[in-house]
Structure 1
Amino acid sequence: MINPQKQQPLSQSSDAGFTIMESLMAMLIITILMLGISPMIVLGVANRVQSRRVELAVQAARAYIDGVRSGAIEHPEHKLEMELDAGKNRSEFAKTEAPKPSNLTCDKNSYCDNENDKSIYCVDLDDGGCSSDSSRDLIIQAFRSITLLGDPANNTDKSYFLGVRVYRADAFKDNGDLSIGEKGAKAKAIGPGLSDRKAPLVEMTTEITTGTPSYSDFCDRLGCQ
């Protein structure tokens, strides 16, 4: 008969599990890593928000231009007198001053002001009209050229240049002056993911044609080689 041998009980290792000190060190390392990558996460989100805002501004500018061209939106009354010089004066036209800050309370998709020295149009993105406290609403500054030919008071019977800048509505809420950028430029960046709230999100200059223009009209405005 075989006598079973008694097995000796396994001794527990003194190194089993994590000590409190090891757990604290692991938490400290994770915290340091999170602090290191959190700025990149924040800047990445800010870049996505700014890109989306610029995309909406481009859509708003194009919709406004199409509305003016089709007659669905009134012509802007902000007029700048300029001579036809084979398109060479378009750069001066694009340097038109930005609008002054003001307390905006505008109806949805309509002009806040449409006067000889200021034409600004509300693009409502959060319902309830445009307000200078809104970070989502957009404001379009529009201005057009007139010539000495025809009636200077109402020169819409002739083709003209139309300038458009799109600003954030909250750019108007304090006393800081709004800025202008280079033609076609987006809002100037202060740093990665950050942008100048007072700068236009997008700028455009286009030609609004009324009637049937002749080839010489295009040469006068745009220049021909």
Structure 2
Amino acid sequence: MHNKSLKHKIDDAVTKVILQESDQSGYTIIESLVAMIVVAVLMSAVAPVIALSVGTRVQARRVELATQAAKSYIDWVRNDIASNTPNLIVVELEDAPAPNSGGLTCNDNQYCTIPAPAIYNDLYCVDGDGDGNCTNDSLTDMVVQGMRRHPNSNDASLGYALGVRVYRADAFQEITLCGPALENPTALCPTRTQQSTITNAIGNRRLPVLQLTTEISPTQSSFQNLCDRIASESGATNNPCE
């Protein structure tokens, strides 16, 4: 009888120990909530840095594609100046308005048909996704705005300054695009004239990705033609080449 009573006491003691250990094992709800809050705070601190890093890498890729598109267009114009030269503009290249937008119909390595070719609307398609055309829902197609500037001649064979702006094809979903720097900048078209290389993944697609100016040489390789044009552009009364 005494042994049975002792055995019951031992069993009861063991059961209590097991129950106490079970109650104290694991995390409480408060501890779990604190851990979740700490993780959330850390993620909110790191997320902007990750987003900026990804956006900058995406924008760098866009600039690379735009540079290739500009080079392709310049080579295309030089290959056949008579047929591929853009329209003559009467303002300085940096002051040329942005092209029309709202629609886009273009075949690869050709001028677009929509917007219709005109002054400031000579838009050249560089297909980036391999479907043979430029569409305003593509993330890799590039559209090049070409502009010709000569102070006193409409004859492309005499050579001219070629202005190039490269826009993302998906920018043509917008109602308006941004071109030259504005005296009164807006939120849509700020003071800068092309997209920043440091941006989030979307960026301001209304701005050109790249802008540059190059020289198209006279077809007769006449140094005098080039010199005359530069003298006219600078407003010099005496031609320095004479």
TM, length-normalised to structure 1? 0.74
- Residue pairs, 1:74-223, within 5 angstroms: 74-81=83-90, 92-113=92-113, 115-117=117-119, 118-128=121-131, 129-146=133-150, 148-149=152-153, 152=154, 155-181=155-181, 186-188=194-196, 192-193=199-200, 195-209=203-217, 210-214=219-223, 216-222=224-230
Give me the whole-angstrom Cα distance separating, in 2, the residues matched to 1:161 and 1:172.
26
Q: Cα distance, 1:161 vs. partner?
A: 0.9
Query: Partners in 2 of 1:192 and 1:59 — Cα distance?
Result: 21
Question: Which structure has the larger Rg?
Answer: 2
Report deviation, 1:173: 1.4
> Following TM superposition, by how much is the alpha carbon of 1:174 offset from its aligned partner in structure 2, in angstroms?
2.8
Q: Is the 8 A contact 1:180 1:199 kept in 2?
A: no
CA distance in 2, matches of 1:197, 1:44: 18
Which sections of structure 1, spanning at least 5 residues, go unmatched?
1-8, 83-91
Task: Judging by fraction of residues, say which structure has more strand.
Answer: 1
Contact 1:79–1:116 (Cα < 8 Å) also in 2: no
- 2: CA distance, partners of 1:62 / 1:78: 19
1:51 aligns with 2:60: yes
Percent sequence identity is 35
If the length of structure 2 is used for normalisation, what is the TM-score?
0.70
Once residues 115 and 177 of structure 1 are traced to their aligned partners in structure 2, the CA distance between those partners, rounded to angstroms, is: 16
The structure carrying a bigger helix percent of its residues is 2
Residues 110 and 52 of structure 1, relative CA distance in 2, 3 Å threshold? same
| RMSD, aligned α-carbons | 3.2
**Cα separation, partners in 2 of 1:31 and 1:73, compared to 1, 3 Å:** farther
**What CA distance in whole angstroms lies between the structure 1 residues aligned with 2:54 and 2:68?**
21
Moved more, 127-136 or 34-43: 127-136
Equivalent pair of 1:187/1:195 in contact (CA under 8 Å): yes
The Cα of 1:33 is off from its aligned counterpart by 0.5
Aligned length: 200
Quick one: higher RCO (CA 8 Å, sep 6+), 1 or 2? Answer: 1
Amino acid in structure 2 at the alignment position of 1:51: A
Whichever residue aligns with residue 140 of structure 1, its letter is: V
Contact 2:82 2:156 in 1 (8 A): no
Q: Deviations over 1:150-184 (max 9, x none)?
A: xx4xx2221111111000111111313433359x9
